[in-house]
């Protein structure tokens, strides 16, 4: 199943006194993965904002499986897990040194400048639909 993958070397600033990654920093890695996913699929936050559309995080989950530490190289795997009429959900896996570190997801409604939920415009919906079909095909 195709997914977007980015590599991140864990900086010291992202760790606690024990040298392990802070929980909240995994959410930042999710954001980086999602931004790259959008770019890879020809989409961009700036373009949406120029149209008066915003894509905030409505809810998120993050589950630890194994610790990452300062200077580890990790890979953030991002894929579009669900798409609806007015929101999408991304899923994430963060791996490093051959082991699963973290899994999680984020859900994003599409809202206008007044923060009112709106349906995806046809062109944007088509882009998400095509990406979803590509990622979830058996080929």
Could you tell me whether strands 73-83 and 87-96 are parallel, antiparallel, or unpaired per DSSP bridges?
Answer: antiparallel
How do 99-109 and 4-9 pair as beta strands?
unpaired
pLDDT (0 to 100) of residue 136: 79
Q: How confident is the model at residue 138 (pLDDT cuts 50, 70, 90)?
A: low
User: Under the phi-then-psi rule, with left for phi > 0, alpha for psi from -120 to 50, and beta for the rest, what region is 75?
Assistant: beta
- What integer best gives the mean pLDDT of the chain? 91
Is-catalytic flag, 47? no
**Band of residue 1 on the pLDDT scale cut at 50, 70, 90:** very low
Domains of the chain: 4-135 (3.10.129.10)
Residue among 14, 16, 47, 112 flagged as catalytic: 16
The answer to whether residue 89 scores a pLDDT higher than 60 is yes
pLDDT digits (tens, 9 = 90+) for 109-137: 999 999 999 999 998 899 899 989 888 77
Q: How far apart are CA 121 and CA 85, in angstroms?
A: 9
pLDDT of residue 134: 85
State pLDDT tens for residues 40-71: 988 888 888 998 999 999 999 999 999 999 99
């Amino acid at each position: 199943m195709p997914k977007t993958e980015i590599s991140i070397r864990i900086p010291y600033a992202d760790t606690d006194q024990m040298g392990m990654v802070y929980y909240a920093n995994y959410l930042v890695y999710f954001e980086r993965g999602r931004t790259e996913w959008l770019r890879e699929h020809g989409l961009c936050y700036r373009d949406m904002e120029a149209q008066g559309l915003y894509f905030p995080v409505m809810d998120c989950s993050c589950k630890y499986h194994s610790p990452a530490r300062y200077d580890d190289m990790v890979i953030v795997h991002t894929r579009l897990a669900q798409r609806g009429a007015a929101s999408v959900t991304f899923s994430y896996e963060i791996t490093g040194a051959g082991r699963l570190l973290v899994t999680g997801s984020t859900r994003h409604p599409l809202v206008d400048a007044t923060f009112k939920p709106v349906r995806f415009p046809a062109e944007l919906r088509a882009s998400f639909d095509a990406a979803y079909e590509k990622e979830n095909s058996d080929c």
